[in-house]
Amino acid sequence: MANAPVDGIPARRVLTDPAGLARYQHDEAERAPYGTPLAVVRPQTTEEVRDVVRHCLAHRIPPVPRGAGTGLSGGANAVDGAIVLSFEDMNRIVHIDPAERLAVLQPGVVNDDLRAAGAEHGLWYQPDPASSP
């Protein structure tokens, strides 16, 4: 798959070089196992996420979703031959409704950013302390 495009995704958002892949192999869990992915894809829209998942299904490649990589459980750890879906570019808070106490956001939003945005509306979102500075 090296240098092969992922269906529907611009090549500039598909990372396949070994040095770059190493950064996406695991989160902050000290003892959780991890492998080497075939690629890391940084989608920017829901449609691109769909395209990556379709590509994975068509080629029998496991997809591994990843946020900021600060987790402590190994839940974002790559497995050998996977495509890591890095949501770091999907980090927009779409809408906050203070009356309903509802936030609509993309999967790459960092907890502390959501807390700060909620505070602008007089709301308090208590994030996991691990995601705060």
Residue 130 to residue 92: CA distance in whole angstroms: 20
Pairing mode, strands 63-66 and 83-86:
parallel
Give the residue-averaged pLDDT of 41-51: 93
Q: Where are the domains of the chain?
A: 11-86, 93-131
* Higher pLDDT pick, 57 / 132: 57
Do 36 and 45 touch, CB atoms closer than 8 A? Answer: no
Of 3.40.50.300, 2.40.100.10, 3.30.43.10, 1.25.40.10, which CATH number belongs to 11-86?
3.30.43.10
Given a cut of 70, is residue 131 above it in pLDDT?
Answer: no
Least confident segment among 24-28, 101-105, 128-132: 128-132
Do 104 and 90 touch, CB atoms closer than 8 A? Answer: no
Q: Is 48 exposed, middle or buried (0-12, 13-18, 19+ CB in 10 A)?
A: buried
* Higher pLDDT pick, 130 / 75: 75
Q: Which residues contact 57 (CB under 8 A, 6 or more apart)?
A: none
Longest dimension (CA), the chain: 49
* Higher pLDDT pick, 5 / 87: 87
pLDDT at 2: 44
Where would I find the H helices in the chain?
A: 18-22, 46-59, 111-119
pLDDT digits (tens, 9 = 90+) for 12-44: 889 999 988 999 998 888 889 999 999 999 999
Do 64 and 82 touch, CB atoms closer than 8 A? Answer: yes
Give the residue-averaged pLDDT of 42-54: 93
High-pLDDT (> 90) share of the chain, %: 64
Beta-bridge partner residues of 96: 103
